Structure 1
Amino acid sequence: MATLLLIIIYLAFISLGLPDSLLGAAWPVMQSDLGAPLEMAGFLFMTIAGGTILSSLVSGKALKRFGTGKVTFFSTLMTAGAILGFSFAPSVMWLFLFAIPLGLGAGAIDAGLNDYVAAHYKAHHMSWLHSFWGVGATLGPVIMAQYIAGQNSWSSGYFVIAGIQFVLAVILLFTLPLWGKVKSSQNVSQDKQGRKESLGHEEQEKKKPLQIKGVKLALASFLFYCGVEATMGLWGSSYLVNIKGLTAADAAQWVSLYYGGITIGRFVTGFITFKVNNVTLIRAGQIIALCGTILLLLPLPSIFALAGFMLVGFGLAPIFPCMLHETPARFGKKHSQTIMGYQMAVAYTGSTFLPPLIGFIASQSTIQTLPLCMVVFVAAMYLSTEKLNQRDGSPASL
């Protein structure tokens, strides 16, 4: 029963990832069709992420009142309707209108399912859960690229994705009884990594969450992580079209490989967690991502840009789920749920404000500044986590 429900949860995370990569992949064509400036995609992205922040902050009350299953179903239905609205939108203003429910639905799904998996399933399932987000995020640009190349129609791409979302919503509707049958008291297996809470947690529990040493560094890591992930997804296609001279369809395919790197990396990470601890995986991922952004920055042929995109995706893969799973080990179980909420909110804040900031910089100069900004963001994330590791007494090198 628990295994069947886990499959349903994985499907729900596919639905969460599907719309996340669509706007960036379709924007080079949407911008021309709608007569919008380049930076408008950043403001649309900000609107979506703003709704996600809001729903993640209030999701706790909704989850307690209605349960994870019902909230997930309703949120998936809401995102399906919003994506369908995108496909029929005649102007940018309509896109902004439908961006609101799209963000609200995504935040509730993310917060609810992350909490449910952390409470009821083994630790490695967290990495696999986020790899299924990558499945959706990878399929989105692939589907969009087919309709851009074949019909030059971004609206048809959105229409097909909306149909997939509605199918997933129906599956969630018919499997709602499963959520009640899986007991909430189910024991959580100990993580193979064997990390235990430090003795200092007793004193930490007497403090308010934000007063605990290291929490602000953890929040900074989440801010820059999601800033990097979202900015690459939103502006990567425009960078490839305007700087590397690729067609919009080819650029969308390349961006799908970036998300493919995240997907494959998280699937592999799920197995690696049996032997390697979270801290090492986070550090290794950040170093790989930094190498990828540097490769994008160098004046090399287009094929190296493709390698850079894949390296960044593969490097980012273990970081987010491993940082989430480290929360109770670093800060104690009493405050872990509250700190987890803070981390998700700050992560979405990075997704909300950093991509539009890059769009503004690009509109004032050139989209060629994208790789440099990515190097700065990844380096800031790396420094934040290394300072946090020093606070925890973690080894300073691989």
Structure 2
Amino acid sequence: AEVFFPCVAGLFVAIGIFSKPGLLADHKKVEDKETKPGSERKIPFFVIVCGLLTLLAYSSEGSVAEWGPLYIVEEKDAPIALGALVYGVFSAMSFIGRLFADPIRKKVGSFVPIRIGLVVGLCGMLTVLFAQSAYLCLFGYALMGIGLAPVVPTLFSLAGSVPGISPQRASSTVAFLAYGGLLSVPPCIGYLAHISSLRSALFLVVAFLLIIFAVSLVLRRLFVNSGGKA
């Protein structure tokens, strides 16, 4: 551990240094008079919606890390080694999905990738819940990873594009709602698992994905009504 963690830290520092030239410039989208202290008092409704949807998306992603390995080991009789692969496979597919998310968004817009991704993620979660094979469950978690990949970054981007609020304040509001809610959602899954079963509790993730998808159908209209350019 004394050697491993400094090496990993050094690797991430090197990646940060070499990736800096490719970072996107921070373009101001709010006039100076709107960014003066005290001028931004009311947070747009669309930003709050993005924050709540991000909370549900983060909770869905978090269910894989917190409960995925335990689920396929206890419910699907998978070996412990296979259970350890759950979050690794999910993260790897999520990484691949986010690499291609921005190029796809530039071609088809921000709203289509969210909807398609949610459908893929929902199919993955249903596979996890209904498949008898542990390997099919692992495949389902891979689908979740690539399906949910564009959701959270796109919601942050949309919130930061709303006129009348600075991108910094919009993104911090979304982050506050999303991470703040994560203090309560994982214990709820654990409580439901305690009184029923882990499989039953994970149907809460299906409900989360369905809610996000339902709201995504009117997300463009909400964005335009907030003054954004779709």
TM-score range, shorter chain: 0.7 to 0.9
Residue 336 of structure 1 deviates from its aligned partner by 2.4
In the other structure, the counterpart of 1:167 is 7
State the alpha-carbon separation in 2 of the partners of residues 335 and 382 from structure 1. Answer: 27
Post-superposition Cα deviations, 1:201-258, rounded to whole Å, max 9, x if no partner, equal x9xx976343x23222112101101110111211000000110001211111133111
1:69-84 paired onto structure 2 within 5 Å: none
* Bigger relative contact order (CA 8 A; separation at least 6): 2
**Shift in CA distance, 235/256, structure 1 to aligned 2, threshold 3 Å:** same
- Which residue of 85, 96, 105 maps to 1:264? 96
In the other structure, the counterpart of 2:82 is 250
Is this contact kept in 2: 1:220–1:381, CA < 8 A?
no
**Shift in CA distance, 224/163, structure 1 to aligned 2, threshold 3 Å:** farther
The one-letter amino acid of 2:89's match is L
Residue 390 of structure 1 deviates from its aligned partner by 2.5
State the alpha-carbon separation in 2 of the partners of residues 233 and 174 from structure 1. Answer: 27
Are 2:27 and 1:226 aligned?
no
Residue 173 of structure 1 deviates from its aligned partner by 7.3
Post-superposition Cα deviations, 1:264-293, rounded to whole Å, max 9, x if no partner, equal 111122332332212211121112111211
In the other structure, the counterpart of 1:291 is 123
The one-letter amino acid of 2:66's match is L
Are 2:48 and 1:208 aligned?
no
**Shift in CA distance, 249/300, structure 1 to aligned 2, threshold 3 Å:** closer
Is this contact kept in 2: 1:231–1:354, CA < 8 A?
no
Post-superposition Cα deviations, 1:361-389, rounded to whole Å, max 9, x if no partner, equal 11222112243111011112223333432
Q: TM-score, normalised by structure 1?
A: 0.48
Q: TM-score, normalised by structure 2?
A: 0.79
Is this contact kept in 2: 1:209–1:339, CA < 8 A?
no
1:185-204 paired onto structure 2 within 5 Å: 188=25
Is this contact kept in 2: 1:239–1:370, CA < 8 A?
no
What RMSD in Å do the two structures reach over aligned CA positions?
3.2
Are 2:133 and 1:301 aligned?
yes
Is this contact kept in 2: 1:225–1:378, CA < 8 A?
yes
Are 2:182 and 1:351 aligned?
yes
Other structure's SS at 1:360 match: helix
1:1-398 paired onto structure 2 within 5 Å: 159=1, 163-170=3-10, 188=25, 208-210=41-43, 212-329=44-161, 331-332=162-163, 334-393=165-224
Is this contact kept in 1: 2:116–2:147, CA < 8 A?
yes
Is this contact kept in 2: 1:292–1:310, CA < 8 A?
yes
Is this contact kept in 1: 2:48–2:173, CA < 8 A?
no
Is this contact kept in 2: 1:289–1:314, CA < 8 A?
yes
Other structure's SS at 1:275 match: helix
**Shift in CA distance, 251/335, structure 1 to aligned 2, threshold 3 Å:** same
**Shift in CA distance, 208/253, structure 1 to aligned 2, threshold 3 Å:** same
State the alpha-carbon separation in 2 of the partners of residues 265 and 175 from structure 1. Answer: 19
Count of residue correspondences: 215
Other structure's SS at 2:108 match: coil
The one-letter amino acid of 1:238's match is L
State the alpha-carbon separation in 1 of the partners of residues 152 and 24 from structure 2. Answer: 24
Residue 188 of structure 1 deviates from its aligned partner by 2.8
State the alpha-carbon separation in 1 of the partners of residues 213 and 79 from structure 2. Answer: 34
Identity of aligned residues (%): 22
